[in-house]
């Protein structure tokens, strides 16, 4: 990924799949992408928190975006991955995705900010939609995805 450089007014996203839909995660938050591994369950926590894993000696919590967004529970396949995110507030956290596809660079004019629709629960986790050759990508607003349920 080193050869792709951020150009002026553009942002790089990693395209992932959850079910049939494509989602984009801003590359600056991504620390690592690892294969699915055994997740140690932590009792008495919210259902979207799947547990903790060991990444190079560090214990990192893992959450399911699917459950958080109200989709069907994850089905572990060969292409399942855990994306390790580094966020300013919540620290390091892993999210489970069905598949990691590619890295795209989106010019800012190709990013359409979402008009906030409170009825659509899924929409509150997005901050925009990106257009590129591969079709439309829903861009995840990581802070609201990771935010704890109150």
Partner 1 sequence: MDVSQYLEIFLDETNEHLQNLNTQILSLEQDPENMDTINEIFRAAHSLKGMAGTMGYKRMQNLTHDMENVFSEVRNGNIKVNADMIDVLFQCLDALEEYNTNIRESSDEGTNDNGALIKRLNSIMGGGSGEESGKAASASDASKANEAETSSKDSEKFREIKLNENQQNVLKEADRQGKMVYGLTVKVQESCILKAARAFLVFKAIEETSEIIVSDPSSQDIEDEKFDLYFSLIVISEEKLDKIVNAAKNVSEIEDVVGGVLNMNDVNSAKEQEEEESEAPQEAAPQTSETPAKAAGETPAQAEAVQVQPTVQDQAPAATPTPAAKKTTANKPVVNRTVRVDIEKLDTLMNLVSELIIAKNSLVSASTMSGNSSPAVNEQIEYLESVTTSLHESVMKVRMVPIESTVNKFPRMVRDLQKKLGKKMELYMSGEETELDRTVVDQIGDPLMHLLRNSADHGLESAEVRRERGKPEVGSIFLDAYQDGNNVVIEVRDDGNGIDTKAVKNKAIERGIITPEQGDNMSEKEVIDLLFNAGFSTAKVVSDVSGRGVGLDVVKSMIESLSGEVEVKSKLGEGSTWTIRLPLTLAIIQALMVDIGDEKYAISLGSIQTIEDIAPSDVKLVQAKEVIQLRDLVIPLVRLSEILDIPSKKDPEDNLVVVIVKKGDKQAGLVVDELIGQQEIVIKSLGKYISKCKIISGATVLGDGEVALILDANTLI
Chain residues binding partner 1 by CB under 8 A are 38, 40-46, 49, 51-54, 57-61, 90-93, 146, 148
Give, rounded to a whole angstrom, the gap between the first and last alpha carbons of the chain. Answer: 37
CA 18 to chain CA centroid, nearest Å? 9
Quote the Cα angle for 149-126-133, to 5°.
Answer: 150
Q: Which CB, 52 or 103, lies closer to partner 1?
A: 52
Q: Which CB, 37 or 79, lies closer to partner 1?
A: 37
- HEC string of 85-96? EEECCCEEEEEE
CB of 59 to partner 1, least distance (A): 4
DSSP 124: G
CB of 52 to partner 1, least distance (A): 5
CB of 140 to partner 1, least distance (A): 17
Q: Which residues make Cβ contacts (< 8 Å) with residue 139, sequence separation at least 6?
A: 13, 23, 24, 26, 111, 126, 127, 128, 129, 130
CB of 47 to partner 1, least distance (A): 12
Q: Which CB, 82 or 146, lies closer to partner 1?
A: 146
Q: Which CB, 59 or 136, lies closer to partner 1?
A: 59
């Amino acid at each position: 990924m080193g050869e792709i450089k951020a150009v002026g007014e553009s942002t790089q996203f990693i395209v992932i799949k959850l079910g049939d839909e494509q989602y984009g995660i801003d590359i600056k938050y991504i620390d690592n992408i690892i294969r699915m591994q055994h997740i140690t369950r932590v009792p008495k926590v919210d259902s979207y928190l799947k547990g903790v894993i060991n990444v190079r000696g560090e214990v990192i919590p893992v959450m399911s975006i699917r459950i958080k967004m109200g989709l069907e529970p994850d089905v572990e396949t060969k292409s399942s991955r855990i994306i390790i995110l580094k966020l300013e507030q919540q620290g390091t956290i892993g999210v489970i995705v069905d598949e990691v596809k590619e890295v795209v660079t989106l010019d800012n004019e190709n990013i359409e900010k979402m008009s906030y629709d409170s009825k659509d629960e899924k929409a509150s986790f997005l901050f925009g939609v990106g257009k590129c050759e591969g079709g439309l990508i829903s861009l995840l607003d990581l802070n609201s995805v990771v935010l704890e349920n109150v």
